[in-house]
Amino acid sequence: MARKRLSADTRRELIEASASEVFAERGYRGGSIVEIARRAGVSAPVVYDHFPSKAELYRHLLERHFAALRQVWRDNLPGPEPAGERMGRAVDAWFAYAEEHPFAGRLLFRESVADPEVRAIHEEVAGASRDEVMPLFADEPGAERLIGAPADAGLEMVWVVLRGVLQGLAIWWADHPEVPREQVVATAMNSLWIGFERVSGGETYSL
């Protein structure tokens, strides 16, 4: 193949795109620098001209995608409309991002409980996301009913459920792109918001 000499910025973007792919497909440990470099059209040492280490490259990608998704919540969740409508458009926008960046969903959530090294990066980056998004929920009327004692744990569990559903569907959807987005969004909302609304209206489940 004819090697082309590109500007540093252009090559860096190619490397980031390639790394998103490779990490999404193979995980942090399974994704090799050589493979990332190959798909970006260069040899492995070039990666180190742009990133100091594999871990830092990974962290950079995580931060980029998490920042984009945080923005989705910030842009869509607040507003004067009914809560269900706002939540619906936020979830829709979330999956729109996942559609546009097929590797983002897989990249962001897969390794979240992996070995200490990677896990620390995830908790740091994902924690920031959680801390920003969850207050938006806590302000919804009736939200306190979702929260048992201790309150923090209850709120965090809401986040865990939200994350679990969006993560699971995003990963699944990446393998079934023929399903239209509206259907994925509707499935998520049927599970998440309808339950939330009902509970915040007083109908808590008990064993």
Partner DNA sequence: CTCCTAACCTAACGATGAGTAGGTAGGTAT
Partner DNA sequence: ATACCTACCTACTCATCGTTAGGTTAGGAG
Site of interaction with DNA (CB under 7 A) = 3-8, 11, 31-34, 37, 41-46, 48-49, 52-55
In this structure, what are the phi and psi dihedrals at residue 153, rounded to the nearest 5 degrees? -65, -40
- The DSSP code sequence of 94-131 is HHHHHHHSTTHHHHHHHGGGS-HHHHHHHHHHHHHHHH
41 binds a copy of itself, rule: CB under 8 A? no
CB of 102 to a copy of itself, least distance (A): 12
2/72 Cα distance (integer angstroms): 40
Nearer to a copy of itself, 131 or 203 (CB): 203
147/149 Cα distance (integer angstroms): 7
191 binds a copy of itself, rule: CB under 8 A? yes
Residues 168-187 binding a copy of itself (CB under 8 A) are 168-169, 171-172, 176, 179, 182-187
Residue with the two structure tokens 């790394």? 19
How many of the chain's residues bind a copy of itself (CB under 8 A)? 61
Report CA-CA distances (Å) from 26 to 35, 158, 194. 10, 29, 35
Binding mask 50-79 for a copy of itself (x = CB under 8 A): ------------------------------
69/167 Cα distance (integer angstroms): 12
96 binds a copy of itself, rule: CB under 8 A? no
Residues 9-28 binding a copy of itself (CB under 8 A) are 25-27
50/46 Cα distance (integer angstroms): 7
64 binds, among a copy of itself, DNA, none (CB under 5 to 8 A by kind): none
Distance of CA 20 to the CA centre of its chain: 13
Furthest C-alpha separation in the chain: 66
Q: Which two tokens stand for residue 186?
A: 């509707």
CB of 72 to a copy of itself, least distance (A): 16
Residues that bind a copy of itself (CB under 8 A): 25-27, 29-30, 84, 88-89, 92, 106, 110-116, 146, 148-150, 153-154, 156-158, 160-161, 163-169, 171-172, 176, 179, 182-196, 198-199, 203-207
